[in-house]
């Protein structure tokens, strides 16, 4: 299923999903006659989330849908025309609103496919086109890519903790930041490695399998657990998972077994039991023993209750007998990192005579916040087994030398020579050319499969949760030297 991710779900126009300063800058560019100056922006993050070693790129399909439908409606323009400045004058004149009325998206966009593992300072998207248009894209692209990438990465970490054979169910809608947060989180969680969701709208919109059990209120609505389980089994004879911890967990397991025997006599099997509180390691071991002794060795044990990757890892180390993990709050809210922190920076601007590029840089007192100039591409070098070895950022506007050297932008003493015969692939792929989409987007299931292959291709040291190994990401030597010279040129000299 490939329902349109955004169009058709929200208002016909989403052009105003932006910060005001994007529009004030757009007006300023228009007023100065700079609106059509060709520019290049990169969208990237500086540091992998959750103190981890990688991120899983996500959100491209949503971003593509938004860009394809970018158009200011009459309602949008009427609202913008009603805005006033601090002294009561109109903020945007009629002439500029007419310009927006006829604005047609015409940028080139290159992007890393959804599901690809990415690292700090690597462009996930590269936007090239008229300065005004490229500027207008900033906020919407950041909110879509930042959140989806953050949740997909969290889900990939949970998948790493659970292992390849356990099931992961995303149960987070009721704790998500509103309808949109819940819907977006369900999509990204599935892409990152979850097997199913409880979110029915996400199931409808994105074709994600939907799963669910029942709440404690179901049990409390009946005279006793046996009656509650029996009634649920009558409603769902082949898909029953009983929540057994309403009163006493192990006794609840025994009551579930009574009903399971009745189900088996009628040709049905109890699918599973769910634990939602208490010492999950101990209770799951006890529950497994009781179920196995009664002959229900294939009945699954589902666990929920504020699960995340570190707790799942701990439970497995304790010998928990859980094979299905219901992960909610900690996944959809990306605990313990509120946002990815992706940024959108201008990196190149055509000179006024269109003859060549001015490469731009943003300086900072913090070295990590100094941007990288150029029209960047990410080249991923592979080892002899076809697995990622190192990534190189280089400027596509300059020719590459025959002998390549990668330089760590934070430590010039860390260098990696690249042999000419080393296999590689370019990560940024064409998505739009002059505003026309040139890429057939994969299905969500295909992106999910890519994410699992990509994460597993990383060295275990990069995947580990505590003090992960730093995957080598360097600048091509020429780019590093140019960036250094630009920093020295732009940074003012200060007297002692």
Task: Give CA separation, 127 vs 19, 146, 167, in Å.
Answer: 18, 16, 38
Q: Does residue 257 belong to any structural domain of this protein? A: yes
Q: Where would I find the beta strands (DSSP E) of 79-237?
A: 108-111, 117-118, 125-130, 167-170, 196-197
Can you list the alpha helix ranges (DSSP code H) found in 32-114? 60-68, 74-82, 94-101
Alpha carbon 466 to chain centroid, angstroms: 21
For residue 1, the model assigns a pLDDT of: 47
Query: Cα–Cα distance between 376 and 403 in angstroms, integer?
Result: 19
Mention every residue, 6+ apart, whose C-beta is less than 8 A from residue 469: 53, 459, 461, 462
Peptide bond into 107 cis (omega under 30): no
Q: Does residue 244 belong to any structural domain of this protein? A: yes
Q: What is the pLDDT along the chain (496 residues), one digit of tens a residue?
A: 455 556 667 777 899 999 999 999 999 999 999 999 999 999 999 999 999 999 999 999 999 999 999 999 999 999 999 999 999 999 999 999 999 999 999 999 999 999 999 999 999 999 999 999 999 999 999 999 999 999 999 999 999 999 999 999 999 999 999 999 999 999 999 999 999 999 999 999 999 999 999 999 999 999 999 999 999 999 999 999 999 999 999 999 999 999 999 999 999 999 999 999 999 999 999 999 999 999 999 999 999 999 999 999 999 999 999 999 999 999 999 999 999 999 999 999 999 888 899 999 999 877 778 999 999 999 999 999 999 999 999 999 999 999 999 999 989 999 999 999 999 999 999 999 999 999 999 999 999 999 999 999 999 999 999 999 999 999 999 999 999 999 999 887 666 6
pTM: 0.96
The count of domains in the chain is 1
Q: Does residue 186 belong to any structural domain of this protein? A: no
- Answer whether 409's CB lies under 8 Å from 480's CB: yes
For residue 354, the model assigns a pLDDT of: 82
For residue 365, the model assigns a pLDDT of: 78
b/e string for 225-248 if b means 16 or more Cβ within 10 A? beebbbebbeeeeeebbbbbbbee
Task: Give CA separation, 394 vs 127, 198, 229, 401, in Å.
Answer: 16, 43, 62, 11
| CATH number of the domain to which 265 belongs | 3.20.20.70
Name the DSSP class of 90: B
Q: Does residue 341 belong to any structural domain of this protein? A: no
Q: Does residue 256 belong to any structural domain of this protein? A: yes
Q: Does residue 230 belong to any structural domain of this protein? A: yes
- Answer whether 102's CB lies under 8 Å from 438's CB: no
- Domain containing 289 equals 212-303
CA dihedral 379, 382, 387, 389 (to 10 degrees): -80
For residue 260, the model assigns a pLDDT of: 98
Gyration radius of the chain over CA positions? 26
For residue 495, the model assigns a pLDDT of: 63
For residue 307, the model assigns a pLDDT of: 97
- Six token digits for residue 38: 């060709």
For residue 496, the model assigns a pLDDT of: 61
Mention every residue, 6+ apart, whose C-beta is less than 8 A from residue 381: 388, 389, 390, 391, 392, 418, 422, 423, 424
Q: Does residue 279 belong to any structural domain of this protein? A: yes
- Answer whether 321's CB lies under 8 Å from 285's CB: yes
Q: Does residue 39 belong to any structural domain of this protein? A: no
Torsion sign, CA atoms 257, 258, 259, 264 = positive
The DSSP bridge partners found for residue 437 are 432
């Amino acid at each position: 299923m490939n329902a349109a991710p955004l169009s058709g779900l929200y208002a016909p126009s989403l052009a105003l999903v932006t910060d005001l300063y994007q529009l004030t800058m757009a007006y300023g560019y228009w007023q100065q006659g700079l609106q059509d100056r060709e520019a290049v922006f990169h969208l990237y993050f500086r540091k992998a989330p959750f103190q981890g070693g990688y991120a899983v790129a996500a959100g491209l399909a949503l971003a593509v849908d938004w860009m394809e439908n970018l158009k200011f409606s009459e309602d949008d323009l009427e609202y913008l025309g009603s805005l006033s400045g601090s002294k009561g004058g109109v903020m945007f004149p009629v002439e500029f609103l007419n310009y927006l009325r006829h604005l047609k998206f015409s940028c080139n966009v290159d992007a890393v496919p959804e599901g690809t593992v990415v690292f700090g300072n690597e462009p996930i998207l590269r936007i090239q086109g008229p300065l005004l248009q490229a500027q207008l894209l900033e906020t919407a692209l950041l909110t879509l890519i930042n959140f989806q990438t953050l949740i997909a990465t969290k889900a990939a970490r949970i998948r790493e903790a659970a292992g390849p054979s356990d099931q992961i169910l995303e149960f987070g809608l009721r704790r998500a930041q509103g309808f949109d947060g819940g819907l977006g989180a369900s999509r990204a969680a599935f892409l990152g490695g979850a097997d199913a969701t409880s979110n029915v709208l996400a199931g409808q919109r994105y074709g994600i399998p939907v799963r669910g059990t029942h709440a404690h209120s179901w049990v409390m609505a009946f005279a006793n657990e046996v009656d509650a389980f029996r009634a649920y089994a009558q409603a769902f004879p082949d898909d029953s998972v009983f929540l057994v911890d309403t009163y006493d967990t192990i006794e609840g397991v025994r009551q579930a077994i009574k009903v399971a025997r009745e189900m088996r006599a009628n040709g049905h099997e109890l699918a599973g039991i769910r634990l939602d509180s208490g010492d999950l390691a101990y209770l799951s071991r006890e529950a497994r023993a009781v179920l196995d002794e009664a002959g229900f060795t294939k009945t699954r044990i589902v666990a929920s209750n504020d699960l995340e990757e570190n707790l799942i890892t701990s439970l497995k180390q304790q010998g928990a007998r859980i094979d299905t993990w219901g992960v909610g709050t900690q996944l959809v809210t990306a605990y313990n990192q509120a946002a990815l922190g992706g940024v959108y920076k201008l990196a190149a601007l055509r000179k006024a005579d269109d003859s060549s590029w001015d490469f731009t840089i943003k300086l900072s007192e913090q070295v990590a916040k100094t941007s990288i100039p150029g029209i960047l591409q990410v080249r991923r070098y592979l080892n002899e087994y076809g697995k990622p070895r190192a990534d190189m950022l280089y400027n596509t506007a300059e020719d590459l030398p025959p002998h390549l050297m990668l330089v760590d932008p934070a430590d010039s003493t860390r260098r990696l020579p690249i042999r000419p015969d080393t296999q590689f692939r370019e990560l940024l792929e064409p998505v739009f050319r002059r505003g026309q989409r040139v890429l057939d987007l994969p299905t969500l299931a295909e992106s999910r499969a890519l994410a699992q292959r990509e994460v597993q291709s990383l060295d275990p040291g990069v995947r580990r949760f505590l003090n992960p190994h730093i995957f080598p990401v360097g600048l091509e030597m020429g780019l590093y030297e140019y960036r250094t010279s630009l920093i020295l040129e732009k940074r003012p000299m200060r007297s002692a």
